[in-house]
Structure 1
Amino acid sequence: MLSAVAARKAALEAQRKPELPEFPPEPLTAISVNPKNVSKRKSAGQKSRPEIKKPRKANAVRPTPKAKRADEFVDQTDMIVVDSDDEDSDSVLSTLDDFGNEAPTRRAWSPSRPVEDSSDEESPDGETLPFDMSSLFPSTSNLQKQADDAEFLSTFEPIIDENVFFLNETELALFGLSDRTTIVSITAKDSICLLGTCKLAVLQGTLSLTGTTLSASRTQHTVFAPRSSPLPILRASGQSSSTSILSRSNLSTRLQRILESETVISIQENRTGVEGLGRICRTFEGVFEPSRWQKSSTTAPFNIPGIFMITKPSKESHAFALPPSWSKALNDVTVSDVLAGTHIIKGPRNSGKSTFARTLMNHLLGSYRHVAYLECDIGQSEFTPGGMVSLNIISSPVFGPSFTHPTLPNYAHFIGSTTPRSNPSHYLDSIQALIQTYRMDIQTPAIEMMDDEDPRIQDVIPLVVNTMGWSKGLGADLNQNIDGLADATHVYDVQAPAREEYPMSASTIPMANTYGAYYSRDTMEESTAPIHILEPITSFSTAAGYTAADHRAMSILSYFHAKFPLDAVPGELGQVTARSWDTARPLCAVPPYQIDCAAALDKVVLTGSGSEDVVEDEISRVLNGAIVGLVACEPGTVDLGTVTGTGIPYTRQDSPPPPPASACVGIALVRGVSPPRIAETGAATANLQMLTPLPHPLLAKARVLVKGEMELPVWGLLDFRNFSGGKEVDPGDVAGVERDKVAFLLWGKASEGVMGAEKRRVRRNLMRRGQM
């Protein structure tokens, strides 16, 4: 083996000295070079030298260079084997750096490269991490690789009536349950990797689930485990706890043996209809079931529909693994019943920032009754659709990706885009208004009566701030302003995946403190809050074939198909989360609300790039098929819009309502706009057909519509009833809309008479002069 630099030097030396060197007494095993396969191309800065051409014999193999040169590389660890038989070895050596490591290839600049539409403005190729994080965390750099290479994800061996008990009707009545339930006894050596949906409760002992420790209680936790996100693993936490809600009086004779077990859980069927979202968005079809390549390593030992146990890893299934740096940071969180902490999570895209924010929130819920979650990442929001900053008061742990728990925000402001690039001032004003609301109304709530049954703290509420992944240029300035507004007590900096070609400067090398966290010399003087440097985790969704755009589309579709209680309104400490989905009908078959613009709307505002160019006569065409934010404003804070000839109150070049005096209650889809008509007052008016899952009390408050840059995904326009997974539709189903009659879609080639309707031809061979 030989490094790339040494291989090139050996090839040049062999060209200048055609004489054959003497072989050493013993064969050298540290060098195996075939000069025929070594590149002879010279770099740009290398001087050309005359070549000495000598006749050589056919099939002759040039021996190894001089032995004294080979001794320098005997103990070298960074080696590569140059023994390829490919004729063009230049491409191999060009992808290797000076240390023999494989360097990432970057695509040349091209004007046809698509623009990222997320708040994470940087492309993966633009990430420049200054140093290799594996040197900081040598034991965890290959954490997920080791987890994937493990022989088994689940070591639990189910044995009926010994560690797995199927409850009959009599036993269900003793537990006060009605749905199908299975009791499982887990030891410290057992691990269970779940796939699917279920309700889970800890009956005895403690359970570790995705970095969260659950104690015995009557609370049933909803678990969503699709293949598009890391799969949860159930383990006995090992913490000493004698809590149990089991008693011999409620147990039959065959169940009394579970009282001697360390951890006892119940797994219950969970019928929510979330699996039907895969029928609407075909990218996620069958994510709650094992794929056909996984069926040999999947079992269903719990006799519960919709839940499976994964025994062996695969490329489509990745188990959740908590890195030690994350575990250390969670254990360092101090709990106080006097002062609530503010935890801010920063980091670039695809580094696990949102996953850690969810894990931290679940960890805090083990000590606090409520946790406030401020979502600043408008590209991939946790509880709401993208395009809005929101403040949610969470009271129960969340186990599942974002599309499995759509929640009505307690306080929110509509931005209208998945990036704050077009209106950064409104983005910062909205975040500032939410932080002020938290400080004044939420941080120290007024508790009339203390609940002695729940030992968790309830008179203070901590705050978790999840920032966006746009960490350069304007995004870095916005994140810096968010740091100043939040005044964090704990800062968690998730590093980007390491790249060795970017050496780290001495001023940014983190150093450990006495608390186990890591401080940066550049930021130590600016902030007194402890800064925890966290290692990144593998992007599980990308490895499984799901992009950020796929998750945004799924989140919006999940929101529009979610079923919220019709009379539920989120209060100051209330949480309203959808528990079921209506996926029997597509959006084109759902009856819409009919809104009279003259009676129900005060104003229509357009925001985003190009909105100032929309004239009054074109507002009906702009709203047709658009996603709008429903904004409720305080009386007297906004001026009424001018009623145009289309019957819609719209004023050109107007700004959104001020965040301190307004709040976004949700989003809606304008499915159609009627032609203008003359109302009783003599003014023109129009009707809007809107689709929204919001409860009726919230709709009555929203009298301002804000239209941004967001659009409904194509999956939401289609009628999936005509085709379902290659099978014929059931005769009882309502006939779907024909493909050619779907609104807002044009199939096939456009009309030749329309200028610009042809498909644009993109040239990808254009380069700058410096790239030639």
Structure 2
Amino acid sequence: MRPTSGKRPAKRRHRKSMFVKRLTPKLRRTLRIRPKGTASRKPKVCPRSDPWTVTPAGSFGDSTKTGTARLRRHSGFAATSSWLNERREFERVVDEFEKEESASDVSERDSLFDGALSRRRPSDEPRRRGKGREDARGSGPWGEEGGSVAGSEEEVSESASDDGESGSDEELSEHGSFLVDPTVASGAESCDEETSQASDSAYKVFLLSKCQLLAVLKPPVALCLVGRAHLTVLQGALTVDGHLVTPSRSGLLVEAGFLSAPAHLHPIRPHSDSSSLQLRRALSRLGASEAWGSLRAHLGPGSAVVLLERAGERWPACQLGAQGLLPRLKGPYLGLGFKLRADRHRQPWRLPLTTLARRLSRACASPGGEVPRVVVCGRQNSGKSTVLRTLVNSLLNMCPEVVYLDCDPGQSEFTPAAALSLTRVTEPLLGPPFTHVHTPEKMYFLGHVSPASQPDAYSAAVSKLLEHCRQHFPNTPLVVNTMGWVAGIGLSLLVDVIRRTSPTDLIQLRPGSADAEDLPPLDPHGVERACGWLTARGDGTGPRVFSCHQLPGGTWRARSQAKLKRDAMMLAYLGRNILNNDTVTPFWLWSTVPYRVPWCSLAIHDCDGVVRKQDLLHVVAGSVVALCVVPREALLETNKSDYPKFVEGTGPYECLGYGLVRAVDPAEKVFYIFSPEPRERLSQVNALVTGDIHLPDAVLFSQAQMFRQKMLPYVEKNLVSSGEEQQEDVLKARVGDESDCE
């Protein structure tokens, strides 16, 4: 019988609730049915003002504990019902977008999306550049067989043993002498000086304290410094990698020997010798007045007295998690943090480079002189970076600034990899690239450490950077760094760089032995008859006359440290603001508050076009992306106003910096992005572009100390043994992780 009570049966009430639960979110919105206890939400409107807002306190990164909890919640995309529904909606919007685009007229566009839209070229494109490309790929611009894709340049002309095993205490006792203060250095058996075997070229070393050392140098002796040290000249003058240092100038921080060549200290004869009274006053300020009696016997015409002080135990990039080969120190050098040794095998390129630098400096100083434009080229490991740093330091002795055009996307000097940049340099370069990260005047993101897959974008970026240099720095010396890929297409691209730069001088580093992959002579006649990638032989685009200087380059090294250098540069870039505050912690990346940016204010793009647009949100999560400025006509919008946009074309795009997408929140439709760039600069960014740049593995593995769990975000497998977390070096597969430049 039917119950007489007015209450509805429980079974029927249960069926109705199940019916409501089975409704899709779209039908719920249509029927205006909301879950119990939830308030109505107004549709989101994309902000028109600056979208880069700092994450509110207590929600992300305000403390290590809170930041950890939020990062666990937002690391990647959890397979929740809300996200699955949002993903289906995102895929539906993208499918509709592609269908609309494929139905439109695509014949007038130069480059379109892969997949539904295929890239097309103008009909006259193959005829315009077909011959040049055939020559470049077939026989090479000089009629020689073109090689395969080689890598970008590897510096350090010295062998690995120069900054590793050499420079021990036995070398120091042979070429110099210690005067040890027994009250400071305990265990010293004798304070007597040892006579040097070479009287004219000897140097003397005196240990003032555990962290201070005095060195007396006489021309033409030269020293090599490995490590980190504060350098101050007390008497005389000397050059440090080409930079002139005198007593009137303040002390410098020298960092060398870690992923770079040792610093080269060479005394020079000043126009007027410093008085001994100045040296005695300097020793008195240091509390070492008694050292004057020992120093006086070793002073002579042109001698230089240098004070070297301890500059810290650890390198900044190592503090942030870099793993590499640090300089090996032992004996008394262990407490100093650096070591000295005589430069027995002085690089043969230093003397002609010094002569060239003097001539270029005089040209800069003269009112009617031609502004120098110098191009340095050579294969991998030929020492281009060391030569360029020495040349820049020499020019800064006479010029207030130097413009540096970096055309090597694999081993950039001032920025992370995969980009071409134009940088204004005002301070000497006294260390490896990761010790002097600069904000460039102009930068274009290429997406790869080698231009093999995008030679057109590489050539276009070089042209735009040179045009910007001519407009804004017409009277400033220009130095150009080229990549180490000098075979096949790489040689054709190098010819284009030389022709468009119109250099006044060209420095070609050539090894002592003949090599099939070495560059042919790049004199004006050879450049004129060469075939470039976008320039043809005898088209009049190249320079008519320039000075060609062929210098002996470094020896080839089979083992490459390119990836280690790129990781160190990325860590130094991401932590540049943290290092300035001297608050480096193991959780520096997670304890930093990220920016909260709405989806609708940014476009997402893959530089290769191989990633489906439906998967772009997954790709950018936990990745290092380029923060680019894309023209409005290249942005493509979907029918969802709160969804990210897409980018039409393949670039190159102007890049304002790099950022780490720490999380993507599908519920709020926001990105959480960490970047060291200032907010004023980030306000111009309108696109996130992914490429062949990644977060160093050491940063991913360092999460084990914070998460205290077996599985780590973005790490495929972890091993836990005896209660201690041990990581297996197995990461998720990455497309093109290692480039041909290695």
How far is the alpha carbon of 1:270 from its aligned partner? Answer: 2.4
**Which of 481, 490, 504 pairs up with 1:489?**
504
SS of the residue corresponding to residue 710 of structure 2 reads helix
Q: Matched residues in 2 for 1:320 and 1:282: separation? A: 29
One-letter identity of the residue aligned with 1:596 = V
* Matched residue, 2:552: 535
Q: 1:705 to 1:117 in 2, by over 3 A?
A: farther
- For residues 234-273 of structure 1, what are the structure 2 equivalents within 5 Å? 234-238=265-269, 240-242=271-273, 246=278, 252=284, 254=290, 262-271=303-312
For residues 394-449 of structure 1, what are the alpha-carbon distances to aligned partners after superposition, in whole Å with 9 as ceiling and x for unaligned?
A: 112112111222222222111121112232222222222221222121233xxxxx
Aligned to 1:585: 586
Q: Does 2:576 correspond to 1:562?
A: yes
Deviations 1:200-250 (A, max 9, x none): 122321113334443333232221123433222433234544368947666
Partners of 1:531 and 1:625 lie apart in 2 by 47
User: Which amino acid counterpart does residue 552 of structure 2 have in structure 1?
Assistant: E
User: 1:172-219, CA deviations, whole angstroms, 9 ceiling, x for partnerless residues?
Assistant: xxxxxxx97555433347654322211212232111333444333323
Q: 1:522 aligns with which of 520, 523, 526?
A: 526
The CA deviation string for residues 635-686 of structure 1, in whole angstroms up to 9 with x for no partner, is: x755554257695422264444x76xxx422111112211144xxxxxxxx2
SS in 1 for 2:566: helix
AA aligned opposite 2:549: H
User: Match of 1:626, as an amino acid?
Assistant: S
Q: Residue 565 of structure 2 corresponds to which residue in structure 1?
A: 551
**Distance (whole Å) between structure 1 residues aligned to residue 570 and residue 228 of structure 2:** 20
Cα 1:759/1:640, change in 2 over 3 Å = closer
Q: Distance in 1 between matches of 2:214 and 2:240?
A: 17
CA distance in 2, matches of 1:758, 1:394: 39
Distance in 2 between residues matched to 1:196 and 1:596, nearest whole Å: 41
1:614 to 2:612 alignment:
yes
1:668 aligned partner: 659
**Distance across 2 between alignment mates of 1:397 and 1:467:** 20
After superposition, residues 9-48 of structure 1 pair within 5 angstroms as none
SS in 1 for 2:619: helix
Partner of 1:470: 485
State how far apart, in whole Å, the 1-side matches of 2:581 and 2:346 are: 26
1:531 deviates by: 0.6
CA 1:579 to 1:280, structure 2 compared with 1: closer, same or farther past 3 Å?
A: same
Relative to the length of structure 2, the TM-score reads: 0.61
How far is 1:590 from its partner? 3.4
Question: What does 1:258-337 align with in structure 2 at a 5 Å threshold?
Answer: 262-271=303-312, 274=315, 277=318, 280-284=321-325, 287-290=326-329, 295=330, 299-300=332-333, 305-310=336-341, 322-333=349-360, 334-336=362-364, 337=366
Q: For residue 33 of structure 2, what is the aligned residue in structure 1?
A: none
189 and 415 in structure 1: CA distance in 2 versus 1, 3 angstrom threshold:
closer
Counterpart AA for 1:300:
Y
Q: What's the Cα RMSD here?
A: 4.3
Change (3 A) 1:650 1:740: farther
Equivalent position SS for 1:367: coil
Pick aligned residue for 2:693 from 710, 713, 724:
710
What is the CA deviation profile of residues 82-122 of structure 1, one whole-angstrom value per residue up to 9, with x for unaligned ones? Answer: xxxxxxxxxxxxxxxxxxxxxxxxxxxxxxxxx9794469x
Deviation at 1:326, TM superposition (A): 4.0
Q: Give 1:555's aligned amino acid.
A: M
Q: Secondary structure at the match of 1:420?
A: coil
Match of 2:332, as an amino acid?
Answer: T
Does structure 1 conserve the Cα–Cα contact (< 8 Å) formed by 2:222 and 2:342? no
Q: Is the contact between residue 577 and residue 676 of structure 2 (CA under 8 Å) also seen in structure 1?
A: yes
* Native 8 Å contact 2:377 2:483 kept in 1: yes
206-215 vs 386-395, which moves further: 206-215
Deviates more, 1:369-378 or 1:414-423: 414-423
How many Å apart are 1:377 and its aligned residue?
0.2
Match of 2:677 among 672, 694, 710: 694
Superposition pairs for residues 329-408 of structure 1, below 5 Å?
329-333=356-360, 334-336=362-364, 337-338=366-367, 339-408=370-439
Cα distance 1:695–1:238, how it changes in 2: closer, same or farther (>3 A)?
same
Q: SS in structure 1 opposite 2:683?
A: helix
CA contact (8 A) 1:232 1:319 kept: no
SS in 2 for 1:408: coil
The structure-2 alpha-carbon separation of the partners of 1:558 and 1:416, relative to structure 1 and needing over 3 Å to count, comes to same
Displacement of 1:742 in angstroms is 1.6
Task: Please state if 1:158 is matched with 2:156.
Answer: no
Query: In structure 2, what is the Cα distance between the partners aligned to 1:354 and 1:503?
Result: 17
Structure 1 residue 376: deviation in Å? 0.5
User: Match of 1:281, as an amino acid?
Assistant: A
Cα–Cα, structure 1 residues 494 and 739, in superposed 2: closer, same or farther, change >3 Å? farther
Distance 1:736 1:371, change over 3 A: same
Q: Is the aligned partner of 1:740 residue 2:710? A: yes
Equivalent-residue separation in structure 2 for 1:748 and 1:503 (angstroms): 44
Per-residue deviation, 1:380: 0.4
Q: Deviations over 1:122-166 (max 9, x none)?
A: xxxxxxxxxxxxxxxxxx99x999x97998478232325897677
> Is contact 2:420–2:462 with CA below 8 Å preserved after alignment?
yes
Aligned identity (percent) is 24
Provide the secondary structure at the position in 1 that maps to 2:385: helix
Partner of 1:423: 454
SS of structure 2 residue aligned to 1:746: coil
Structure number having the greater helix percentage:
2
The alpha-carbon distance between structure 1 residues 181 and 695, as it changes in their structure 2 partners (threshold 3 A), is farther
- Measured in 2, the distance between the counterparts of 1:443 and 1:158 equals 51
Whole-Å Cα distance in 1 between the matches of residues 518 and 439 of structure 2? 45
In structure 2, the residue corresponding to 1:563 is in which secondary structure?
A: helix
User: Retained in 2: the 8 A contact 1:273–1:580?
Assistant: no
Q: How many Å separate the matches in 2 of 1:354 and 1:378?
A: 13
Structure 2 residue identity aligned to 1:533:
Q
Report the secondary structure of 2:324's partner residue.
helix
Give per-residue Cα distances to partners, 1:555-604, cap 9 Å, x unaligned. 2122222227xxxxxxxxxxxxx7677642256633341422247x3423
The aligned counterpart of 2:605 is 605
Label 1:697 to 1:160 Cα distance change in 2 as closer, same or farther (>3 A): farther
**In structure 2, C-alpha distance between the alignment counterparts of 1:560 and 1:758, rounded to whole Å:** 22
Matched letter for residue 747 of structure 1: K
CA positional deviation for 1:490: 0.5
CA distance in 2, matches of 1:533, 1:311: 27
Higher relative contact order (CA 8 A, sep 6+): 2
Structure 2 CA distance, aligned partners of 1:704 and 1:690? 12
Cα 1:748–1:351 change in 2 (3 A) is same
Amino acid across the alignment from 1:479? L
Q: What code does the residue aligned with 2:712 have?
A: V
Q: What is the DSSP-based 3-state SS (H/G/I as helix, E as strand, rest coil) of the residue aligned with 2:572?
A: helix
Are 1:642 and 2:637 an aligned pair? yes
The verdict on how the C-alpha distance between 1:325 and 1:247 changes in structure 2, with shifts beyond 3 A counting, is: closer
Contact 1:117 1:418 in 2 (8 A): no
Distance in 2, matches of 1:402 and 1:239, equals 31
Task: Provide Cα deviations, 1:5-37, integer angstroms capped at 9, x if missing partner.
Answer: xxxxxxxxxxxxxxxxxxxxxxxxxxxxxxxxx
Q: Tell me the TM-score normalised to structure 1 length.
A: 0.59
